[in-house]
Amino acid sequence: MAVSQRLIALDVLRGLTIALMIMVNTPGSWSYVYPPLLHAKWHGCTPTDLVFPFFLFIVGVSMFYSFKKFNKGITSSSFKKVIKRTLIIFLLGLFLNLFPKFNFENVRFLGVLQRIAIAYGLAALLCLQFNVKTLKYIFAAILLGYWGILYFGNPIAPFDQTGNLVQQIDLAILGENHMYKGLGFTFDPEGLLSSFPSIATVLLGYFAGNIIEFSKSTLDTIKKFVMYGLILAVVGLVWGTIFPINKSLWTSTYVIYAGGLALLFLALLLWIIDVKGFKKWSTPFIHFGTNPLFIFMFSGIYVKTIIYLVKINMSNGDTLTGYSYLYNQVFVPIAGNMNGSLLFAITHIIFFWFLTYVLYRKKIFIKI
């Protein structure tokens, strides 16, 4: 079976990931969210914690096919392309943090798009320069090195919420005013040091692309994905007993565990779509997957617009944001607080899907 056909499953996984990103980022109210749709408070891994590493994993798989034509190491042309894309994604993330207030004094420097940019940029340069065998040694060095760096950065409490080396470095370089505070304390889950192991997540995807390319058949690919996926997930869980699985720190065990589950999930999609031929259900997710970073960026701007720029005066004298108005006046009366919050998120998935559908039909693919 041709590689292009087998990669339909990858497009679907990418689309599913983007749809889930929108769902977990857009509840009607953060006070009413079902637990699986929330991040783990610190150690641990919920379904929501798998969304981001799955996306970086997909970046790695796609990278393998994008870089097949480059076999002479880093060239001036390939270097410029990687750096250009890295800077564009990073600056878009910074713009999203600034919008709409553009408060430079307290802007958060890092974020999801910035993490994608850093992980993509550094992983891309590694993949351009080294063969797969060497990359596997680099992958192991990253995971083991990060473990050691975190431990010796604070031997007493290396993985605690405060005092860990990730936080120390971000405070020293970025400053408290430019860091995330949504966890209840000053800590950036897309911090500088924790971007280091996220490179390994991209490399795992690159290795998966290599497996797809050189497997004898789709069934052969699925068997390998299941085997490696189970091994990685189990190793992550066992290693996690001494080096906790933690998304905020992006621990090495989190890389391995989430990567193992990504392989298993991609294997499942390959089996459903390519082996069994059940494809019709996946069409909306293919639409999502064709403009992933654009729709993520657009959804972020949309949400901030209806929160900060849309104000609605109520008859009782209260003023609601557009976001709050939609939730409280439209979705809560229909489904109540908890289910109304979920329905709010699902409705926005459908809204953003329609946008991707229009772009897909018009063959507009916005490459970022």
Q: Does one domain contain both 349 and 289?
A: yes
Q: Does one domain contain both 72 and 32?
A: no
DSSP 176-240: GGGS--TTSSS--TT-STTHHHHHHHHHHHHHHHHHHHH-SSHHHHHHHHHHHHHHHHHHHHHHT
Please state, in angstroms and as integers, the Cα–Cα distance from residue 115 to each residue in 107, 195, 281, following that order: 16, 6, 31
Q: Show the tokens assigned to 315.
A: 């008859």
Q: Which of 272, 287, 302 lies at the terminal end of a domain, its last residue?
A: 272
Q: Does one domain contain both 99 and 204?
A: yes
Kindly tell me if the per-residue pLDDT of 1 is higher than 50.
no
User: How many domains are there within the chain?
Assistant: 2
Please give the pLDDT value at position 266. 96
Q: Does one domain contain both 222 and 88?
A: yes
Q: pLDDT tens digits for 46-73?
A: 999 999 999 999 999 999 988 877 777 8
Q: Which of 272, 289, 312 lies at the terminal end of a domain, its last residue?
A: 272
Q: pLDDT tens digits for 215-261?
A: 999 999 999 999 999 999 999 999 999 999 999 999 999 999 999 99
Q: Does one domain contain both 145 and 192?
A: yes
Residue whose token pair is 């699925």: 222
Q: Does one domain contain both 85 and 198?
A: yes
Give the amino acid at 11. Answer: D
DSSP 6-26: HTHHHHHHHHHHHHHHHHHH-
Q: Does one domain contain both 56 and 16?
A: no
The mean pLDDT value of the chain amounts to 94
Q: Does one domain contain both 89 and 199?
A: yes
d(CA 223, CA 246): 28
Please give the pLDDT value at position 7. 77
Q: Does one domain contain both 99 and 176?
A: yes
Kindly tell me if the per-residue pLDDT of 120 is higher than 50.
yes
Q: Does one domain contain both 235 and 104?
A: yes
Chain CA centroid to CA 173, Å: 24
pTM over the 0.85 mark: yes
Q: Does one domain contain both 197 and 91?
A: yes
DSSP 111-140: -HHHHHHHHHHHHHHHHHHS-HHHHHHHHH
Please give the pLDDT value at position 5. 44
Q: Does one domain contain both 131 and 225?
A: yes
- In the DSSP assignment, the letter for residue 311 is E
Q: In which domain, by residue range, is 317 found? A: 1-38+279-368
Give the amino acid at 206. Answer: Y
Tell me the pLDDT band of 110, cut-offs 50, 70 and 90.
Answer: very high
Sort 40 into a burial class: Cβ within 10 Å, 0-12 / 13-18 / 19+.
Answer: middle
